[in-house]
């Protein structure tokens, strides 16, 4: 772990939407998420709203198409704006297709007590080990992602809150800043 854990207070879940924080980056899985949402709208599974950050949309046509898929687009958000987004989301989607060793968005989602839908890629499986409110899917498999979104959208909010609390507790029990620092120092001492 190369970033300290964030010190977030838990934000109550007031909405039933989803969050995606990777912008239009193909490596962050944006295309996979678009395909999954398109698949959901094609099958008539209902509308899903995805709060999405890091978007600077160059054309209205593209913005309309993304909104049709369920995206609510934001540029970069400050901390209070991000907290408001977190109030509205029951789950965070991380459809990454590249080998990130320790995606910080996964840390934020778990510490914020949210359900997580993520690709089985890079360091994500290790990060979420033992967390009950997590669904992993094969990276790039938009059908699996669509199924996971549909499943989580159908869960009662009480169940979502329980899963989120379990995620937070499990993650913070496994990883904390003091233990991580001690482990890092131990590795450095071993190398010297």
Each residue of 63-90: pLDDT tens digit? Answer: 899 999 999 999 999 999 999 999 999 9
Do residues 46 and 190 lie in contact, with contact meaning Cβ atoms separated by under 8 Å?
Answer: no
For the domain made up of 17-191, the CATH class stated in words is alpha beta
The two three-digit tokens of residue 10, written as one number: 């838990």
The two three-digit tokens of residue 167, written as one number: 């995620």
Each residue of 102-155: pLDDT tens digit? Answer: 999 999 999 999 999 999 999 999 999 999 999 999 999 999 999 999 999 999
Q: Side-chain half-sphere of 98: how many Cα atoms within 13 Å?
A: 10
Q: Kindly give, in sequence order, each residue whose CB lies less than 8 Å from that of residue 134, ignoring residues fewer than 6 positions away.
A: 115, 116, 117, 118, 128, 167
In this prediction the pTM is 0.90
């Amino acid at each position: 772990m190369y970033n300290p854990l964030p010190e977030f207070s838990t934000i109550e879940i007031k909405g039933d939407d989803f969050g995606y924080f990777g912008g239009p980056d193909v490596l962050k899985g944006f295309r996979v998420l678009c395909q999954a949402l398109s698949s959901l709208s094609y099958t008539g599974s209902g509308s899903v709203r995805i709060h999405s950050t890091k978007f600077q949309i160059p054309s209205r046509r593209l913005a309309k198409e993304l909104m049709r898929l369920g995206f609510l687009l934001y540029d970069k958000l400050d901390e209070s704006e991000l907290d408001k987004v977190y109030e509205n989301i029951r789950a965070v989607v991380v459809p990454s297709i590249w080998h990130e060793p320790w995606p910080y968005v996964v840390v934020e989602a778990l510490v914020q007590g949210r359900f997580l839908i993520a690709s089985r890629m890079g360091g994500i499986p290790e990060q979420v080990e033992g967390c009950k409110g997590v669904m992993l899917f094969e990276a790039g498999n938009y059908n699996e992602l669509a199924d996971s979104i549909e499943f989580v959208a159908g869960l009662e909010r009480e169940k979502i809150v329980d899963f989120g609390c379990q995620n937070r507790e499990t993650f913070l029990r496994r990883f904390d800043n003091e233990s991580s620092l001690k482990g890092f120092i131990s590795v450095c001492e071993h190398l010297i």
